[in-house]
């Protein structure tokens, strides 16, 4: 890409990119907006019926005027039924874009899934979300997959009472033609389920009358309104202080065992992952660098980035002068290098690291890592 020496694009170059982008995104949009698409085009088979979701080589790009941002660049992992998968990585590594791809809530037309599959297991049927048209997706969202957002104040409408907002969600997804009284009863039931004692009182309140923790409980109640099979929690406790955070995590754990839902838990906080997750996926610059069970990742971290993350986590009772911080910064997502994305920050390089991006290596049935340090050390190479 022709860039000026100061790193900025000329207006002409930017216009050319923008025109090219429009051509590409228009083609994607046309495909997605089609009506009466036959089911055979988007129904699929799960690779393993015990999985609720399977991400398979997902590529999600943003076609911006500065170039194509490779936000998610070949991500493969699964969320087993009834389990919590923690997705961890520093800001900008593609955690939210991965989950928004599953919900088909990417900012469009710039944001598009350009390659790969996301298989969603709904018991009788499995859908490939990447091929599912908008009109079908509307039905899947909320009914089967729902999302708890980071900032509860933005998820709630400040001018409506809590009860009205929850009622609306229930009515929107209602398949049983509930009466007004039945809808209200369900709202009250949900408020109780998320641990709100004064549910009748909260029903009549406005969001600003509630504390941050209470608001987040309401947002969780909203996400649970239709008993979703998959709950995506994107940094659900980041805006809360630590005591409230502990209560909300406790609540999510209780709800998970009560509803047998699967949870995809996104955070940059390893402490939270340790408390919540059965499996952990570590992302770096749009790719997965390591994944495994929580035990694999916490007891035997293998990738230098994961090891760095562990070292930068404060440990109670351990005295250190200064917490470790990983040097350097993430590469520019418009212009990714053709070697290991972590190489410029890595303090554990080996000879092979000057080669192409490393393949995924199996350290065990569950534990996978993409790093040359493990090449030929008893692991098996995948792909």
Ligand X SMILES: Nc1ncnc2c1ncn2[C@@H]1O[C@H](COP(=O)(O)OP(=O)(O)OP(=O)(O)O)[C@@H](O)[C@H]1O
Q: Give the residues lining the site for ligand SF4 (CB under 6 A).
A: 303-304, 340, 342-343, 346, 348-350, 353, 358, 371-373
Q: How far is the CB of 306 from ligand SF4 (least distance, A)?
A: 10
Q: How far is the CB of 206 from ligand X (least distance, A)?
A: 28
**Strand order across the beta sheet in which 67-80 lies:** 43-44, 126-128, 111-121, 51-64, 67-80
Instruction: With beta carbons less than 8 A apart as the criterion, state whether 43 and 126 touch.
Output: yes
**How deeply is 187 buried, as exposed, middle or buried, from its count of CB atoms within 10 A (0-12, 13-18, 19+)?**
buried
Stretch that binds Mg ion, among 45-53, 95-103, 137-145, 283-291 (CB under 5 A): 95-103
**Helix %, strand %, coil % of the chain (to 5):** 40, 20, 40
Q: Parallel, antiparallel, or unpaired for β 145-148 and 230-234?
A: parallel
Closer to ligand SF4 by CB, 189 or 356: give it. 356
Total chain residues near Mg ion (CB under 5 A)? 1
Closer to ligand X by CB, 71 or 167: give it. 71
From ligand SF4, ligand X, Mg ion, none, interface partner of 371 (C-beta below 5 to 8 A by class): ligand SF4
DSSP category for residue 380: E
Tell me which H or E stretch contains 87: strand 84-88
Q: How far is the CB of 357 from ligand SF4 (least distance, A)?
A: 8
Closer to Mg ion by CB, 96 or 245: give it. 96
Closer to ligand X by CB, 93 or 369: give it. 93
DSSP category for residue 69: E
Handedness of CA 13, 19, 23, 29 (dihedral sign): positive
Closer to Mg ion by CB, 73 or 128: give it. 73
Q: How far is the CB of 293 from ligand SF4 (least distance, A)?
A: 21
Interface ranges with ligand X (CB under 6 A):
62, 64, 69, 71, 89, 91-97, 107, 110-111, 268, 333
């Amino acid at each position: 890409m022709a860039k000026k020496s100061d790193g900025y694009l000329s207006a002409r170059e930017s216009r050319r990119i923008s025109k090219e982008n429009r051509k590409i995104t228009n083609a994607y949009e046309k495909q997605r907006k089609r009506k009466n698409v036959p089911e055979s085009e988007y129904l699929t088979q799960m690779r393993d019926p015990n999985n609720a979701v399977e991400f398979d080589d997902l590529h999600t790009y943003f076609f911006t005027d500065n170039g194509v941002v490779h936000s998610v660049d070949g991500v493969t992992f699964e969320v087993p039924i009834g389990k919590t998968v923690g997705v961890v990585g520093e800001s900008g590594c593609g955690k939210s874009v991965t989950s928004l791809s599953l919900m088909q809530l990417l900012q469009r037309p710039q944001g598009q899934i350009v390659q790969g599959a996301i298989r969603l297991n709904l018991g009788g049927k499995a859908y490939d979300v990447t091929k599912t048209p908008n009109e079908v997706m509307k039905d899947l969202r909320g009914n089967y997959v729902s999302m708890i957002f980071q900032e509860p104040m933005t998820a709630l409408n400040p001018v409506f009472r809590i009860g009205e907002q929850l009622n609306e969600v229930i009515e929107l997804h209602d398949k049983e033609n509930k009466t007004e009284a039945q809808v209200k009863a369900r709202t009250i039931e949900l408020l109780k389920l998320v641990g709100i004692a004064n549910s009748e009182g909260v029903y009549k309140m406005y969001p600003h009358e509630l504390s941050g923790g209470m608001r987040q409980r309401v947002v969780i109640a909203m996400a649970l309104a239709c008993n979703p099979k998959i709950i995506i929690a994107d940094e659900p406790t980041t805006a809360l202080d630590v005591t409230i955070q502990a209560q909300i995590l406790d609540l999510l754990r209780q709800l998970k065992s009560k509803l047998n839902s699967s949870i995809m838990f996104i955070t940059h906080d390893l402490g939270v992952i340790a408390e919540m997750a059965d499996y952990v996926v570590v992302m770096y610059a749009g790719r997965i660098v390591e994944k495994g069970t929580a035990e694999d990742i916490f007891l035997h971290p293998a990738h230098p980035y994961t090891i760095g993350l562990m070292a930068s986590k404060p440990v109670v009772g351990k005295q250190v002068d200064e917490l470790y911080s990983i040097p350097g910064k993430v590469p520019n997502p418009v212009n990714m290098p053709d070697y290991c994305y972590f190489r410029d920050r890595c303090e554990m390089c080996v000879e092979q690291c000057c080669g192409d991006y490393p393949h995924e290596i199996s350290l065990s049935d569950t534990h996978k890592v993409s790093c040359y340090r493990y090449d030929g050390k008893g692991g098996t190479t995948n792909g």
